[in-house]
Amino acid sequence: MAETVPVIDVRTPLEFVHARIPGAFNLPIFSNEERVKVGTCYKQKGREQAILLGFDLTGSKWSGFIKEALKIAPEKKILVHCWRGGMRSGAMAWALNLYGFEVFLLEGGYKRYRNWVLEQFKKTYSILILGGMTGSGKTKTLQQLKKLSHQIIDLEDLAQHQGSSYGSMGRLNQPGQEQFENLLARELNKVDTNIPLWLEDESLSIGRCFIPNSIFHQMRQAPVMKITVPFEKRVDFLVKEYGVLDKEFLIESTSRIGKRLGPEQTRDAILAIRENRMDDFIKIVLIYYDKTYANGQGKREKESIHLIQCNSTDAEENCKLLLNHIQSE
């Protein structure tokens, strides 16, 4: 129902910011501080005293709650939840129902929803992995597959990270781990498990977000369609993608991988950035990323890796080659 009916989350702003049902609106009954007071009262004086305190704290807020709910759901049909489906959502549902809303309560609250999220990761999916060295244009090829009505999930988009030291692009803000899982579960819920689901080849972590172990295990067991693009073409692609970014961001990101890159290569890469020799910078760090990717591929069964020779990073052309290869298998 949450795909078509507005969801209001009546938990505190702190709870909501931490993680939430994707697309939900926050209409907190209590502020962060008020929730602490009510919780303390519940423990020290019992349920009834906590309820009275709750009404004391919210007494003047109820008309505001209803007005805000009308903005969110002008058709007066709404979904409501709190943490466990208890007093907070019950009180809000009662008030909105009294005003004439058609109200649906999430039984068990956000806690029950989180159990549902974790259940999505236990299902078996027909995964196909789109592989390729850094700079092969995998993400654009993945999006081209989507345009052609193939099932895809863009994990990097959900994680708001491109999956390398430079992955934040100097501007992306990642969700927390719990919210990343919520977003992934929403996408998995749309998947038809009987037909292929395309995912990009990723390591366990995408920036600070970790792919759930059960999904990652399925990804490691899945067939890999690896597009192979000439080195120079990949350099050109990455210069266009990363060469335009803030130089201080590039220097900081290069320094982060300095130990793995090596002191000389780190020095030369940073100098190339400062001197605006972006081709040279990309070539230096690309050697490191190619080795890292090769190490990851070495842990897969060789029989599961299928090579598709590509002459460029053109997503439309590479998508055709990819699909032709699958049809000829």
Please give the pLDDT value at position 74. Answer: 97
CB 205 within 8 A of CB 136: no
pTM above 0.75, yes or no: yes
Length of the chain: 329
What are the tokens at 85?
């489906």
Q: Which of 118, 143, 176 is the last residue of a domain?
A: 118
Same domain assignment for residues 110 and 129: no
Same domain assignment for residues 104 and 130: no
Rounded CA-CA distance 107/119 in Å is 17
**pLDDT tens by residue, 283-315:** 999 988 898 888 877 777 888 899 999 999 999
Same domain assignment for residues 97 and 79: yes
Asked if residue 50 is part of any domain, the answer here is yes
Asked if residue 196 is part of any domain, the answer here is yes
Please give the pLDDT value at position 25. Answer: 98
Rounded CA-CA distance 89/66 in Å is 13
228 φ/ψ angles, rounded to the nearest 5 degrees:
-110, 120
Same domain assignment for residues 45 and 75: yes
**pLDDT tens by residue, 44-56:** 999 999 999 999 9
| Of 251, 58, 214, 191, nearest in space to 121 by CA | 214
Same domain assignment for residues 197 and 86: no
Same domain assignment for residues 236 and 167: yes
Please give the pLDDT value at position 170. Answer: 77
Split into its structural domains, the chain has a count of 2
Angle 246-250-256 from CA coordinates, rounded to 5°: 145
Asked if residue 74 is part of any domain, the answer here is yes
Measured between alpha carbons, how far is residue 302 from residues 128, 130, 201, 225, 227 in Å? 15, 15, 15, 12, 15
Rounded CA-CA distance 329/316 in Å is 20
Same domain assignment for residues 232 and 273: yes
Its domain, for residue 261, covers: 124-328
Asked if residue 1 is part of any domain, the answer here is no
Angle 37-57-54 from CA coordinates, rounded to 5°: 65
CB 48 within 8 A of CB 72: no
Q: Which of 52, 86, 118 is the last residue of a domain?
A: 118
DSSP 322: H
Asked if residue 2 is part of any domain, the answer here is no
Please give the pLDDT value at position 92. Answer: 96
Q: Which residues of the chain have pLDDT under 70?
A: none
Same domain assignment for residues 49 and 189: no
Positions marked active-site: 82
